[in-house]
């Protein structure tokens, strides 16, 4: 089986995403890149019920290479991000607070300095139908400039990483930041950190790790 270890890791991350509520049912998808190949979760399958053989493998052009099931409908978005960034793994969620912010905002304001770990202010990609080249391009635009995460209007969130573990943790951080913002809005107007305040945090060494080149 091609990319056996990578496909097994997808199943592990799928279970964790379901357990933590970052995805429900068959929503969301995950991929991991190894050289010119990408293992991705299958379309229409609950992520906590996958087996390694369920996860198809495609090349960077989106052509089927191995596996019996069809790849996720969001595979074009994953491939667009692999082309545009040095990421080695991508996690796309339909988390609650991420969806709330993505439905109401054009960006997630920097209300906590840990926003810097995602590359700065998190943008909300313009809405487009799921699985389309238009959505893939919108997300790619929202992730420009070294971003580690983005939200997708009226949809959910996406995070990238140097490996699956990092992409998963970035997705968890994105949901936490969205949750803090939504809860803060319920009791008042959240205070947003200024560029100067964020710059001082960077001076103290908080910044996203550099990606190795794929």
53 secondary structure, DSSP code = G
- The residues that are catalytic are 74
Angle at 4 between CA 45 and CA 55, to 5 degrees: 15
- Encode burial over 31-68: b for 16+ CB neighbours within 10 A, e otherwise: bbbeeebbbbbbbebbbeebebbbbbbbeeeeeeeebe
Asked if 160 contacts 146 with a C-beta cutoff of 8 angstroms, the reply is no
CA distances to 55, 99, 158, 177, 178 from 10, in Å: 8, 23, 15, 24, 25
Phi/psi at 73 (5° precision): -65, -20
How many residues are recorded in the chain? 214
């Amino acid at each position: 089986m091609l990319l056996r270890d990578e496909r097994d890791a997808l199943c592990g991350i799928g279970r964790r995403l379901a357990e933590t509520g970052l995805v429900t049912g068959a929503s969301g998808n995950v991929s991991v890149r190894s050289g010119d190949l990408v293992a991705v979760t299958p379309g229409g399958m609950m992520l906590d019920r996958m087996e390694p053989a369920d996860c198809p493998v495609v090349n960077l052009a989106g052509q089927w290479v191995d596996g019996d099931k069809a790849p996720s409908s969001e595979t074009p978005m994953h491939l667009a991000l692999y082309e545009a960034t040095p990421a080695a793994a991508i996690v796309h969620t339909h988390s609650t607070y991420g969806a709330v912010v993505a439905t109401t905002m054009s960006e997630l304001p920097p209300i906590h300095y840990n926003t810097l770990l995602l590359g700065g202010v998190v943008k909300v990609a313009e809405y487009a139908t799921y699985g389309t080249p238009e959505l893939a391009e919108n997300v790619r635009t929202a992730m420009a400039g070294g971003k580690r995460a983005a939200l997708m209007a009226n949809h959910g969130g996406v995070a990238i990483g140097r490996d699956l573990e990092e992409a998963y943790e970035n997705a968890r951080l994105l949901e936490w930041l969205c949750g803090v913002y939504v809860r803060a809005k319920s009791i008042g107007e959240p205070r947003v950190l200024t560029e100067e305040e964020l710059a001082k945090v960077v001076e103290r060494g908080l910044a996203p790790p550099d990606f190795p080149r794929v």
